């Protein structure tokens, strides 16, 4: 049977929409599906760090994020054991500010861009399985919506369907690294507390932060050891304020002086997980392929990075520049070369097992890894589709 699409992409948030955008702009026929009937908020705070801003800029979408009401943060202010370190958004001048857009705003901007680039979009559509051809290669997706079940034939089925990826399960994607959850999170939205900076606080083996987001609100969060997950679930209000006071009494006072305008959202802990991101007829991108703790503030940025790296590899293979296996192995090598140091540092930070100098060392490693990936992404337009990346 003739293939209907070059790629069917499962998941229409940051990883899936960005992959669809990049592939559609390279001239491929793409279908992106999501089981959600609309792309609203999801369990996530909002920092888009330098890598993410570089990608939004390169894709011509940053203006839409700004027009959507996300305020610019020209500084990131790190506070470790009470000592404050203000850092410019970017020292290279590529990025003027960092942003923390609400997910219903950001994710829809990328999805709309994919649609405008020619991708077909089907919301309210779940993947229930994959189909194989006679050689065992994945040859498409089994999809269900209110209209019933259908099979969509595609050269590639891409799982952008998050940590618990159904695509990964269906293709038996090997797990290369798994580390249990160490950190649990509570966040909410508060009016009247923002300084305009992205503020992150580390101390007493706890983490907190304030991200200025849409509608004049601050997205305020705390991270606590996963051993406190029961209390995260049953008493988020009490634990939230207690954690702020433990890290910094003045921070706690500031937040108490503001007005909380939304309920608490919680994550009781998620593992760090790396999967092999490709095989015959399938690929994984975003959290489905590489998930790290929210302590990174970098899941959105990683998704944007890997979406483009994958799209370029698929394009190189479709164009005949590289055999498929080599192109996809190249994608995995580039992903890993750019994410390995960051992954170790994030696992270290999320362990909450550090003193002040230990936290600073993890943050410095993350900063260096981000600088490296910004350099690589910025050079992509001149470096060719699949240039190797040194580890």
Ligand X SMILES: Cc1cc2nc3c(=O)[nH]c(=O)nc-3n(C[C@H](O)[C@H](O)[C@H](O)COP(=O)(O)OP(=O)(O)OC[C@H]3O[C@@H](n4cnc5c(N)ncnc54)[C@H](O)[C@@H]3O)c2cc1C
Chain residues in the site for ligand X (CB under 6 A): 10-16, 33-36, 42-47, 126-127, 160-162, 166, 185, 267, 270, 286-288, 294, 297-301, 303
Calpha distance 43→299 (Å, rounded): 12
**Which residue, 145 or 246, is less far from ligand X as judged by CB?**
145
**Which residue, 241 or 326, is less far from ligand X as judged by CB?**
241
State the nearest-atom distance from the C-beta of 45 to ligand X, in Å.
4
**Which residue, 179 or 321, is less far from ligand X as judged by CB?**
179
C-alpha angle 309-310-312 in degrees, rounded to nearest 5:
70
Q: Phi and psi dihedrals of 46, rounded to 5?
A: -130, 5
State the nearest-atom distance from the C-beta of 257 to ligand X, in Å.
24
Residues 6+ apart with CB under 8 A from 244: 208, 222, 251, 252, 255
State the nearest-atom distance from the C-beta of 37 to ligand X, in Å.
10
Which residue number has the CB closest to ligand X? 299
**Which residue, 47 or 327, is less far from ligand X as judged by CB?**
47
Beta strands at 138-145 and 148-159: parallel, antiparallel or unpaired: antiparallel
What residue spans of the chain are helical by DSSP H? 14-25, 50-58, 62-67, 103-116, 166-171, 229-234, 236-247, 249-257, 299-318, 324-350, 356-383
- Beta bridge pairs of residue 260: 190
Calpha distance 3→96 (Å, rounded): 43
Lookup result for tokens 């209390």? 231
Burial (CB count within 10 angstroms: exposed 0-12, middle 13-18, buried 19+), residue 135: exposed
**Which residue, 32 or 318, is less far from ligand X as judged by CB?**
32
Distance of CA 351 to the CA centre of its chain: 20
**Which residue, 164 or 325, is less far from ligand X as judged by CB?**
164
- Helix, strand, or coil here: 166? helix
Lookup result for tokens 């491929």? 28
**Which residue, 189 or 322, is less far from ligand X as judged by CB?**
189
State the nearest-atom distance from the C-beta of 365 to ligand X, in Å.
17
**Which residue, 10 or 56, is less far from ligand X as judged by CB?**
10
- Beta bridge pairs of residue 202: 80, 207
Q: Do residues 385 and 316 lie in contact, with contact meaning Cβ atoms separated by under 8 Å? A: yes
Calpha distance 72→57 (Å, rounded): 14
State the nearest-atom distance from the C-beta of 293 to ligand X, in Å.
8
- The DSSP H or E segment spanning 374 is helix 356-383
Beta strands at 206-212 and 198-203: parallel, antiparallel or unpaired: antiparallel
**Which residue, 173 or 322, is less far from ligand X as judged by CB?**
173
**Which residue, 33 or 359, is less far from ligand X as judged by CB?**
33
Residue 346 structure tokens: 């994030």
State the nearest-atom distance from the C-beta of 335 to ligand X, in Å.
13
Q: Do residues 201 and 360 lie in contact, with contact meaning Cβ atoms separated by under 8 Å? A: no
Q: Do residues 152 and 29 lie in contact, with contact meaning Cβ atoms separated by under 8 Å? A: no
């Amino acid at each position: 049977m003739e293939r209907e699409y070059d790629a069917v992409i499962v998941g229409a948030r940051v990883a899936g929409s960005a992959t669809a955008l990049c592939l559609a702009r390279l001239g491929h026929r793409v279908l992106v599906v999501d089981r959600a009937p609309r792309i609203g908020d999801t369990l996530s705070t909002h920092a888009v760090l330098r890598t993410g801003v570089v990608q939004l800029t390169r894709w011509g979408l940053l203006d839409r994020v700004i027009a959507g009401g996300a305020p610019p943060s020209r500084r990131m202010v790190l506070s470790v054991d009470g000592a404050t370190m203000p850092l410019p958004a970017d020292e290279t001048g590529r990025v003027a500010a960092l942003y923390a857009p609400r997910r219903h705003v950001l994710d829809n901007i990328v999805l709309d861009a994919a649609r405008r680039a020619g991708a077909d979009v089907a919301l309210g559509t779940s993947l229930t399985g994959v189909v194989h051809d006679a050689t065992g290669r994945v040859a498409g997706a089994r999809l269900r919506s209110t209209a019933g079940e259908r099979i969509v034939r595609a050269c590639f089925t891409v799982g952008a369907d998050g940590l618990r990826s159904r695509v990964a399960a269906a293709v038996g994607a090997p797990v290369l690294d798994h580390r249990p959850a160490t950190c649990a999170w509570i966040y909410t939205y508060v009016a009247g507390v923002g300084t305009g900076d992205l503020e992150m606080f580390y101390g007493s083996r706890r983490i907190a932060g304030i991200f200025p987001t849409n509608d004049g609100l601050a997205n305020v969060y705390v991270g606590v050891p996963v051993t406190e997950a029961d209390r995260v679930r049953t008493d988020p209000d009490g634990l939230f304020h207690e954690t702020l006071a433990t890290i910094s009494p003045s921070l706690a006072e500031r937040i108490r002086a503001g007005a909380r305008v939304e309920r608490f959202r919680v994550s009781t802990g998620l593992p760090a997980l790396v999967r092999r991101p490709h095989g015959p007829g399938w690929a994984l991108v975003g959290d489905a392929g590489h998930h790290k703790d929210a302590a990174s503030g970098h899941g959105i940025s990683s998704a944007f990075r890997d979406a483009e790296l994958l799209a370029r590899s698929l394009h190189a293979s479709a164009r005949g520049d590289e055999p498929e296996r080599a192109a996809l192995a190249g994608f995995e090598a580039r992903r890993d070369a750019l994410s390995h140091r960051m992954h170790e540092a994030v696992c270290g930070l999320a362990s909450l097992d550090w003193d002040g100098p230990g936290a600073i060392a993890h943050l410095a490693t993350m900063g260096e890894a981000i600088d490296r990936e910004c350099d690589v992404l910025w050079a992509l337009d001149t470096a060719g589709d699949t240039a190797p990346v040194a580890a």
